[in-house]
Amino acid sequence: MSALLEVRGLTVAYGAIEAVRDISFVVETGQIVCLIGANGAGKTTTLRTISGLLRPRAGDILFDGQSIANQPAHAILGAGVAHCPEGRRLFARMTVEENLLLGAYTRTDDGVTTDVQRVYDLFPVLGERRHNKAGLFSGGEQQMLAIGRAMMSRPRLLMLDEPSMGLSPIMTQKIFDTLADLKAQGTTILLVEQNALAALALCDRGYVVDLGRTTLEGPGHELLADHRVRAAYLGEG
Amino acid sequence: MVTLLQQLVNGIVLGGLLAFITLGYTMVYGIIQLINFAHGEVFMVGSYAALATYLWALPSGIQSTWYLALPIVILAGAAFSVLVAVIMERFAYRPLRNAPRLAPLITALGISVFLQEAVRNFFPDGTRPKAFPEVFPEGQLTFLGVTVPASGLLLVVMAIILTGALQLYVNTSKLGRAMRATAQDPDTARLMGINPDRVIVLTFILGAALAGVGGVLYGVHYDNINITIGFQNGIFAFTAAVLGGIGSLRGAVVGAFCIGLIKTLAGQYMPGGTAYDYVWIFVILILVLVFRPQGFFGETERVRA
Ligand SMILES: Nc1ncnc2c1ncn2[C@@H]1O[C@H](COP(=O)(O)OP(=O)(O)OP(=O)(O)O)[C@@H](O)[C@H]1O
Ligand SMILES: [Mg+2]
């Protein structure tokens, strides 16, 4: 196994506030890795820095062995990292189809139409209302569209920030099944989740982020069994 | 009755002219929230570039053949406006992209003055108004006692075609989609792989090309140009953009025709006549800002202090 993404000693600050302090983790090719942690732990900040929306104060980010820490966001997407952001961030005044086509913005191959259809097959409600404005959909439906849009660039690494937020248990299950399918098709996934139970059950490796640092790490099933994780994130103890 | 109809015709012609300028204001605002006060000057330099091309680049055989001369000077005017806008974006606005919003605004005013003074100093005898060459046949249609000059008709038809084409481009092309995405949510647009620099420069190019064409047609229709035409019409066009809802392309075109009509009708019917017609435009501007700051088609969320 080789590391597709390696985050080394990453520190990110908003002005004087250091939201991420010396965080390090590795995502191996073909794995699903998840970051769990309390509100404000710095998970979103970490993802936004990997995708180039924020600049690190210290540390490095290697994708496929190359540093991407100071690349512009559009170049990082071009290198193969897609980011499905927290809170969906759809283009609300554009249609479902336009949102999906924007996800494929950098692609020049002729498989885009097929991939749009694949998203519709996966989430039929999107296909039925493909010409409706994205802002008119329910929260869960918007989340499906956001994930579909992120898949449209055919990323090598797909980063998802709380994809189950606001979804019913059935939809959450469907999203997690979809992630498992994507993994089976060879996509590497970095997942940030509040739903620690489902995320740890799915992932190959998990990291617990607390106050901007990784405090625990290990295979998902081991973390699931860890009493500290159970106490802090699964409401036990 | 004839007077009213005549003023309506004049107002529509002025509206067409303003539509050429307004779109550039509204698109640039939509993408980078900058009120580009130098945009009127982009219109003005297009007019002067067309004049210069006619005077010093066209052989007399072409000068006297309007159907050759007209497209050439239009293209020359548009090309020069685009050049000025691209330089302006690259060297004045781009370095200020993350500066407080007042900085680019003041820069825009500075560029506006700079461009006016540059034309005054470097265009031969630039201080004096210039007669614009006749690159379109004189002529007019008359019906019911109302005169429609051929040049006015040309201006309005071109305005409708070009503003329509621009909206089609922005609403259906891939780059147009990238422009709209960047206007709606710049960070998420970057996550789609959209390079904001490219989209922003494209926005300036499209706005400047339209303004340049408008500048040339201004000369063709009004026969005279001077270095203040950009400033004056720029202010009216800006008001039109606010009225229509700044950021909205549809609003810009509707707003332009409204302002054109308001100005000519006020000049005819309001106290003070044409000497004070522009006052009514500012009255409208103030009323809009007070009672409906988002304009006809703007979104409330976009209106920021
Ligand atoms: N734009 C910002 N300006 C200043 N501080 C910020 C900004 N965004 C986040 N922060 C702060 O940085 C810290 C980390 O925030 P971040 O959004 O990365 O947390 P998170 O782990 O994603 O939390 P959640 O689970 O609630 O989404 C928090 O203390 C937050 O208040
Ligand atoms: Mg978060």
In 3D space, the residue among B191, B67, B150, B142 whose CA is nearest the CA of residue A161 turns out to be B191
Please report whether residue B176 resides in a domain.
Answer: yes
Could you list the beta-strand ranges (E) of A57-212. 58-63, 66-67, 81-84, 157-161, 188-193, 205-210
The answer to whether A77 contacts B193, with C-beta atoms less than 8 Å apart, is yes
Range of the domain at B103: 19-133+148-226
Find the length of chain A.
237
Report the residue of chain B nearest A153, measured CA to CA: B192
Please report whether residue B252 resides in a domain.
Answer: no
Model pLDDT, residue B303? 38
Ligand nearest to the CA of A43: 1
Å from CA of A37 to ligand 1 middle: 12
| Residue A103 contacts B, CB cutoff 8 Å | yes
In 3D space, the residue among B211, B4, B222, B242 whose CA is nearest the CA of residue B88 turns out to be B211
Tell me what the mean pLDDT of segment A124-136 comes to: 95
Lowest model confidence (mean pLDDT) among A168-172, B46-50, B159-163: A168-172
Counting Cα atoms < 13 Å in the Cβ hemisphere of B304 gives 10
Please report whether residue B45 resides in a domain.
Answer: yes
In 3D space, the residue among A211, A216, A235 whose CA is nearest the CA of residue A22 turns out to be A211
- Neighbour-count burial of B258, counting CB atoms closer than 10 A to its CB (0-12 exposed, 13-18 middle, 19+ buried): buried
Residue pair B221/B13 in contact (Cβ under 8 Å)? The answer is: yes
Superfamily name and number for A1-80+157-237 = P-loop containing nucleotide triphosphate hydrolases (3.40.50.300)
- Neighbour-count burial of A79, counting CB atoms closer than 10 A to its CB (0-12 exposed, 13-18 middle, 19+ buried): middle
Q: What is the pLDDT of residues B188-245, one digit of tens each?
A: 999 999 999 999 999 999 999 999 999 999 999 999 999 999 999 999 999 999 999 9
| Residue B192 contacts A, CB cutoff 8 Å | yes
The answer to whether B177 contacts A94, with C-beta atoms less than 8 Å apart, is yes
* Chain B residues in contact with A89 (beta carbon < 8 A): 185, 187-188, 191
H or E element that contains A218: strand A213-219
| Count of domains forming chain B | 1
> How much of chain A is in helix, strand and coil states, percent to nearest 5?
40, 30, 35
Q: How confident is the model at residue A171 (pLDDT cuts 50, 70, 90)?
A: confident
How many whole angstroms separate alpha carbon B165 and alpha carbon A222?
Answer: 60
Q: Give the position of tokens 């690159």.
A: B135
User: Residue with the nearest Cα to atom 12 of ligand 1?
Assistant: A19
Phi/psi at B54 (nearest 5 deg)? -60, -50
The answer to whether B194 contacts A74, with C-beta atoms less than 8 Å apart, is yes
Percent pLDDT > 70 in chain B is: 98
How many whole angstroms separate alpha carbon A17 and alpha carbon A45?
Answer: 12
Q: How confident is the model at residue A215 (pLDDT cuts 50, 70, 90)?
A: confident
The answer to whether B192 contacts A102, with C-beta atoms less than 8 Å apart, is yes
Domain with CATH 3.40.50.300 in chain A: 1-80+157-237
How many whole angstroms separate alpha carbon B158 and alpha carbon A110?
Answer: 36
Q: How confident is the model at residue A236 (pLDDT cuts 50, 70, 90)?
A: low
Q: Report the DSSP pairing between strands A81-84 and A157-161.
A: parallel
Model pLDDT, residue A1? 57
| Residue A18 contacts B, CB cutoff 8 Å | no
What number is the ipTM of this complex?
Answer: 0.94
Task: Identify from A53, A89, A91 which residue to disrupt to test chain B contact, counting B C-beta atoms within 10 A and taking the largest count.
Answer: A91
Model pLDDT, residue B301? 47
**Residues 6 or more apart whose Cβ sits within 8 Å of residue A33:** A25, A26, A27, A189, A190, A191, A203, A204, A205, A206, A207
* Chain B residues in contact with A92 (beta carbon < 8 A): 184
pTM: 0.93
User: Residue with the nearest Cα to atom 25 of ligand 1?
Assistant: A39
Inter-residue long-range contacts of A166-174, CB under 8 Å, 24+ positions, other chains counted: A166/A139, A166/A140, A167/A139, A167/A140, A167/A143, A168/A140, A171/A140, A171/A143, A171/A144, A172/A198, A173/A198
In 3D space, the residue among B249, B245, B248 whose CA is nearest the CA of residue B165 turns out to be B249
| Residue B125 contacts A, CB cutoff 8 Å | no
In 3D space, the residue among A155, A212, A215 whose CA is nearest the CA of residue A189 turns out to be A155
* Chain A residues in contact with B187 (beta carbon < 8 A): 53, 73, 85, 89
Phi/psi at A13 (nearest 5 deg)? -130, 145
Residue that wins the pLDDT comparison between A161 and A197: A161
pLDDT at B180 over 70: yes
In chain B, what is the greatest distance between 2 CA atoms, to the nearest angstrom? 59
Structure tokens at A3: 């590391």
Tell me what the mean pLDDT of segment A54-79 comes to: 96
User: Residue with the nearest Cα to atom 22 of ligand 1?
Assistant: A44
Asked whether the CA dihedral A148, A152, A154, A160 is positive or negative, the reply is negative
| Residue A78 contacts B, CB cutoff 8 Å | yes
pLDDT at B305 over 90: no
| Residue A92 contacts B, CB cutoff 8 Å | yes
Model pLDDT, residue A237? 54
A42 lines ligand 1 (CB under 6 A): yes
Q: Which of B180, B193, B196 comes nearest A78 by C-beta?
A: B193
Residues 193-252 of B with CB under 8 A from A: 193-196
Å from CA of A223 to ligand 1 middle: 24
